[in-house]
Amino acid sequence: MTFSELGLSPKVLAAVEASGYTEPTPIQAQSIPHVLARRDVLGIAQTGTGKTASFTLPMLTLLESGRARARMPRTLILEPTRELAAQVEESFAKYGQNHKLSMALLIGGVSFGDQDAKLTRGVDVLIATPGRLLDHHERGRLLLNGIEILVIDEADRMLDMGFIPDIERICKLIPPSRQTLFFSATMPPEITRLTEQFLRNPERVEVGRPATAAVTVTQLLVAASDDPSEKRDALRRAVRDADAFKNAIVFCNRKRDVAVVYKSLQRHGFKVAALHGDLDQRARMAALDSFKTGEVDLLVASDVAARGLDIPAVSHVINYDVPHHAEDYVHRIGRTGRAGLTGVAITLVAPSDAKNLQAIERLTDVPIAWQGEPLDPGAAAERPRAAGRGRAGARRREAAPSEDRAAPPPREAAKPAPRRRRARPEAAPADEPVMAAAVEPRKAAEPAPVARTRRPEPERRSQSTASDDRVVGLGDHVPAFLLRPTRLARA
């Protein structure tokens, strides 16, 4: 089958031919006719099989008739990440080179002014992340009652990672007569039930079993240690010993681990860049561009780079951490072996990752081969539970007394040293003269103080009773303004 048999317009066919594509992928061949027929579509296919073109090409054909109006876009594409939204914009620019369609990209990290200027002129295609889209709507700068086609890309991620309230709110702002398209590489049953409230009698297009990796990706496991330094050593060996290595994306579960691994690889002479959600938009785009152009060989990233990014000719994907969710593994390794090319996915497996590895093999239904010595299945059970990880656990193990070690004799309780009392000014002897100016007012105001006998201090005293001669009120000093005579008010 060729693209000309799918019903696309001549302008779109010319752009596809200029891009070098001749035959559609299975997901494209099955979904494009349904989109052109204005049907709702639920598309499920493996990563790297061309899902973006499955809705981009028919949308360009449908948008050839009609015109955009100010602040009322005609189509809306929702993406979970900024990088994926920018990539979809590039796809529209490439396939829509023969069209005079306007586009706007609404993502965070970019000024509102530039985005608002494009909306004012009117856009045919609006590509956005949910948060920034709602920001523009709440400011009264965007109307969604003219949307004809709604596309939710990476649907499982959008619905499963906290976007459900935003998606529901956006769908209420869009006319119910819209056409809705869902595309994703994984679609668990619980997520499928959520799509029923957004789709109307959809055409389910499923290419291959859900949550499976492309056959062009060779999957390997490498045994590693739970110790961070030894695990970083294993990562460097995996990079140096990789066959036909060109470049690689190194995935970590946590953003702080991204920074640690990035600094470690940089310190050992690797050309590396870092990408995670806490970086500003300019730094994120710079890291992606440096990896795409070959300026760096390694891109250490969090799962923000695991969804939908189409980076050409990535030879390796290395999972520094086994993902907590098995679906994320499918998306991660889908960054390599794309567009018919071959790729290698290497996963470092520590003893604590046994359960996550079992979940991945259960989801993909494919046993993954080990490179080198496999991990000892009893290694996780041999680790003492009470001992912590890393140096802190080692210190606790060294400090804990063992059963065969003789306990040291109990030390004799040492008496605490008596606390030093701050010297208090002694009362002046009776035969010494005292300043009359300071004592004379007190004689008039109060009787002469009675001499007090200091009690002997006990040998051990608590802090709360450190002083028997507590100062009450103002002590020995009375401010002069309190000694001034006052007039009584007449009745």
- The yes-or-no answer to whether 3-206 and 217-375 have a common fold is yes
Are the CB atoms for 302 and 277 separated by under 8 Å?
A: yes
Distances, alpha carbon 213 to alpha carbons 322, 344, 410, in Å: 16, 12, 64
Tokens representing residue 58 in the block = 């028919």
Please count the CA atoms within 13 angstroms of the CA of 164 that sit on its side-chain side: 11
Low-confidence ranges of the chain (pLDDT < 70): 159-161, 190, 208-212, 308, 377-476, 491
What are the domain boundaries of the chain?
A: 3-206, 217-375
Instruction: Tell me the pLDDT of the chain averaged across its residues.
Output: 81
Q: What pLDDT shows up at residue 455?
A: 53
Ramachandran assignment for 220, one of left (phi > 0), alpha (psi -120 to 50 degrees), beta (any other): beta
C-alpha 171/C-alpha 12 separation (Å) is 29
For residue 183, CA distances in Å to 92, 147, 237 come to: 17, 18, 37
Q: pLDDT at position 389, please? A: 44
Q: Where are the alpha helices (DSSP H) in 214-315?
A: 228-240, 255-267, 281-292
Q: How far apart are CA 244 and CA 22, in angstroms?
A: 28
Q: Under DSSP, is residue 77 helix (H, G, I), strand (E, B) or coil?
A: strand
Number of Cβ within a 10 Å radius of residue 11: 16
Q: Is 301 helix (H, G, I), strand (E, B) or coil?
A: strand
**Token pair of 54 as six digits:** 């499955």
CATH topology assigned to domain 217-375: Rossmann fold (3.40.50)
Confidence (pLDDT) at 406? 40
The pLDDT assigned to 398 comes to: 40
- Structural fold of domain 3-206: Rossmann fold (3.40.50)
Strand order from edge to edge, sheet including 298-301: 272-275, 298-301, 248-251, 316-319, 343-349, 217-223, 369-370
pLDDT of 438 reads 41
* pTM tops 0.85, yes or no: no
Cα Rg for the chain, rounded, in angstroms?
37
